[in-house]
């Protein structure tokens, strides 16, 4: 509900100045978000955050070979009963259809809770998901994925290029690699969004850019750096979730072993007397203000900082191009050349002598920068490294670095595919799970 009213807010303002309110209203309805709890029969249920969910039956092109079911077990790690406790199970290819604005990028989000539904064990849920010719998920096993990541549920989120026809068709197809497979989904969200991407420089290939405006992307990571988890309800209109960055910090940097302590930088927060506001260049839909109000810096000791990198490491799928979006807002310094730093992506220099105050134009002003990097398909190419290091080149006042938020997006390949392999659970987890072993054997 909240995100809908946020999206409508500028239109409502517009209507104060426009005599043509009817046109404004019809634009508003074009931007309708679809927030769907699959398999539910209760219209308008709210989750524990107060978001309202509709039922899925009116969106199904056909409900043949599908059924609805309820989870027998509520995993306490779930954020809410709605929309996870109900499910749509599909034993043959099944499509959902959405009427969408033909010129808007679409945020498409799925949630999967692998558990037992009535008597159906979700471990046979292995399937593909496509949308208007794009492959979003290929041979996807929510069960294996959740086991490998030790998560109770899986979120998959995509930003899809505008659908010219105005009809988005999301199709679930059970895998043919096993018998008795089916597809299942607990929630589906389709949210029209502004274009937030432009051609981006490919690091390490001078002058080469990636055409992301014509591409669809999968959200891999979305972090509020140095800050707290930001739930969907607190996002600035797109119901995105922003996670804590600390699990991705590389603890044992060179500086860490040198000083014999883990180098994690420090979490910092905007002081009350610094106002942080969205701007024309960084409007509300880019990120909520809470992302910019907290950050991670290297800390107050320049001797430690110059011998250290502030490094995060992310597991990604090899053989894809990634766009890494850095969100910055310096709420401590007021002038250029006070804090300057280098930005590394996969050990390559993406930016030399980054100066947030100079980029943004002052204290408390958000700014973001995108860089693209290609992951090859060799050993170790499934780890994406992000590093910051103080830049001394311009003799800044402080030897330090800062980062407020980080998003990592996978770009579809030339064949319009975004599907990667399922993550492999550790040997220990596998040993304990014969079902997982047989699934992996079939998927190979």
Binding mask 327-356 for ligand NAG (x = CB under 6 A): -----------------x-xx---------
Q: Does 138 bind ligand NAG (CB under 6 A)?
A: no
Of the candidate spans 17-25, 178-186, 208-216, 428-436, the one that interacts with ligand NAG by CB under 6 A turns out to be 208-216
Phi-psi region of 199 (alpha: psi -120 to 50; beta: other; left: phi over 0): beta
Residue labelled with tokens 């599909």: 90
Considering the rule CB under 6 A, would residue 271 count as an interface residue with ligand NAG? yes
Instruction: Tell me the closest approach of the beta carbon of residue 48 to ligand NAG, in angstroms.
Output: 34
**Does 228 participate in binding ligand NAG (rule CB under 6 A)?**
no
Give the binding-site size for ligand NAG (rule: CB under 6 A): 40
Distance CA 272, CA 326 (A): 24
Q: What's the min distance (Å) between Cβ of 413 and ligand NAG?
A: 3
Under the criterion CB under 6 A, does residue 253 sit at the interface with ligand NAG? yes
Distance CA 300, CA 144 (A): 43
Q: Compose the 16-35 pattern: x for residues touching ligand NAG by CB under 6 A, - for all others.
A: --------------------
Q: Which residues contact 410 (CB under 8 A, 6 or more apart)?
A: 217, 218, 220, 316, 317, 320, 321, 322, 418, 420
Q: How far apart are CA 81 and CA 189, in angstroms?
A: 17
* CA 338/CA 400 separation, integer angstroms: 9
**213 lies in the site for ligand NAG, by CB under 6 A:** yes
- Of the pair 148, 345, the CB lying nearest ligand NAG is at 345
Question: What b/e readout covers 80-107, taking b as 16+ CB neighbours within 10 angstroms?
Answer: bebbbbbbbbbbeebbbebebbeebbbb
Q: Are strands 66-70 and 217-224 parallel, antiparallel or unpaired?
A: unpaired
Closer by beta carbon to ligand NAG, 199 or else 302? 199
Tell me which residue has tokens 């850095």: 326
Name the segment binding ligand NAG (CB under 6 A); options: 34-42, 45-53, 383-391, 400-408: 383-391
Q: Which residues bind ligand NAG (CB under 6 A)?
A: 61, 95, 97, 130, 134, 169, 171, 199, 210-211, 213-215, 253-255, 260, 271, 273-274, 307-309, 319, 344, 346-347, 363, 377, 380, 383, 385, 387, 389, 411-416
């Amino acid at each position: 509900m909240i995100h809908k009213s946020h999206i409508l807010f500028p239109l409502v303002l517009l209507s104060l100045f426009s005599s043509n309110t009817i046109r404004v209203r019809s634009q508003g309805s074009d931007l309708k978000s679809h927030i769907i709890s699959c398999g539910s029969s209760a219209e308008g249920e709210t989750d524990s955050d107060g978001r309202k969910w509709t039922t899925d039956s009116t969106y199904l092109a056909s409900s043949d070979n599908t059924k609805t079911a309820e989870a027998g077990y509520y995993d306490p790690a779930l954020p809410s009963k709605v929309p996870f406790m109900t499910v749509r199970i599909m034993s043959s290819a099944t499509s959902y259809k959405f009427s969408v604005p033909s010129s808007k990028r679409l945020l498409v989000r799925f949630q999967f809770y692998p558990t037992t539904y009535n008597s159906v064990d979700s471990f046979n849920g292995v399937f593909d998901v496509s949308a208007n010719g794009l492959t979003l998920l290929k041979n996807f096993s929510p069960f294996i994925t959740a086991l490998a990541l030790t998560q109770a549920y899986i979120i998959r989120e995509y930003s899809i290029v505008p659908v010219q026809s105005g009809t988005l068709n999301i199709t679930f197809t059970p895998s043919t690699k096993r018998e008795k497979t089916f597809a299942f989904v607990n929630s589906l969200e389709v949210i029209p969004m502004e274009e937030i991407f432009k051609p981006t420089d490919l690091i390490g290939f001078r002058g080469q850019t990636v055409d992301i405006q014509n591409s669809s992307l999968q959200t891999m990571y979305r972090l509020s750096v140095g800050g707290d988890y930001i739930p969907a309800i607190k996002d600035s209109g797109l119901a995105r979730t922003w996670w804590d960055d600390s699990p991705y910090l590389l603890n044992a940097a060179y500086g860490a072993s040198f000083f014999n302590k883990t180098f994690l930088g420090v979490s910092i927060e905007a002081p009350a007397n610094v106002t942080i506001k969205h701007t024309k260049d960084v409007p509300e839909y880019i990120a909520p203000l809470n992302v910019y109000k907290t950050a991670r810096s290297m800390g107050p000791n320049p001797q430690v900082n110059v011998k250290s990198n502030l490094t995060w490491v992310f597991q990604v799928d090899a053989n894809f191009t990634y766009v890494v979006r850095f969100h910055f807002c310096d709420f401590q310094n007021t002038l250029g050349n006070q804090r300057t730093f280098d930005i590394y992506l996969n050990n390559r220099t993406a930016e030399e002598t980054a100066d947030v105050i100079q980029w943004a134009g002052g204290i408390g002003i958000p700014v973001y920068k995108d860089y693209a990097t290609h992951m090859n398909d060799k050993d170790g190419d499934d780890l994406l490294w992000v590093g910051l290091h103080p830049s001394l080149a311009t003799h800044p006042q402080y030897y330090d670095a800062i980062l407020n938020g980080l998003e990592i997006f996978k770009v579809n390949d030339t064949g319009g595919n975004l599907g990667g392999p399922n993550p492999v659970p550790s040997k220990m987890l596998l040993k304990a799970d014969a079902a997982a072993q047989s699934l992996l054997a079939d998927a190979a």
